[in-house]
Amino acid sequence: MHFGTYMGVYWIIKFVFFPLGFMNSFCMFLFFALTLAVPYLGYRYAKMYRDRACNGEISFFQSFFFMAFMYMFAALFTAMGHYIYFRFIDNNFIFNSYMEIINGFAAQLPGMEAQIDLLKESLDSVGKMTAIEIAMQLFSTNVLYCSIISLITSLFVMKKNPSTTL
């Protein structure tokens, strides 16, 4: 699954811009732009697979399974990167950055104390998660979203050879 490896490396590079985005808004913009490019990149990889390995013909289910497994492999690869980041590098940087943002909202919106307290409680529960729990949560989220992306994109990748149909 070299396409899954390429996608996993892409996701890890993309993830680097997320923590940097708390210090520089352009990095956050770059993170979101690269995130929006994931379905297109998956489409390109599936199309390359269709044209090179399947002689230009692929069914919906073949393209779906190719893309689902490609994304699953990429998510596994990225989960290792997430674990390494949250275990050895982060030191609650993202958690503290979100708390600063919420406290800024609390200062600007004095009538929203109940909602802000709810946000703080939710963030506290996330802050208590271990690195492996965060990595597994991100892994399952990636698999869910990419399964949906695979379903939609497979409709555009599938192609029947007109000479084989009657």
CB-neighbour burial class of residue 91 (10 A; exposed 0-12, middle 13-18, buried 19+): exposed
Residue 89 confidence (pLDDT): 95
Q: Which of 72, 68, 56 is nearest to 157 (CA)?
A: 56
Q: What average pLDDT does this structure show over 139-143?
A: 97
Which of 57, 55, 37, 36 shows the shortest CA–CA distance to 157? 57
> 3-7, 79-83, 116-120: which range is least confident on average?
116-120
Residue-level pLDDT at 37: 97
- Over range 36-61, report the average pLDDT: 94
pLDDT of residue 164: 56
Instruction: Supply the pLDDT for residue 105.
Output: 83
Residue 146 has pLDDT above 80, yes or no: yes
Q: What is the pLDDT of residue 111?
A: 81
* pLDDT score recorded for residue 110: 79
What average pLDDT does the structure give for the chain? 92
Comparing C-alpha atoms, which of 76, 77, 44 is closest to residue 63?
44
Whether the pLDDT of residue 95 is over 60: the answer is yes
Domain ranges of the chain: 2-157
Does 166 score more than 80 pLDDT?
no
Encode pLDDT of 98-133 as tens digits. 999 988 888 888 788 888 889 999 999 988 999 999
Helix (H, G, I), strand (E, B) or coil at 58: strand
- In this structure, what are the phi and psi dihedrals at residue 58, rounded to the nearest 5 degrees? -150, 140
With 60 as the cut, is the pLDDT of residue 10 above it? yes
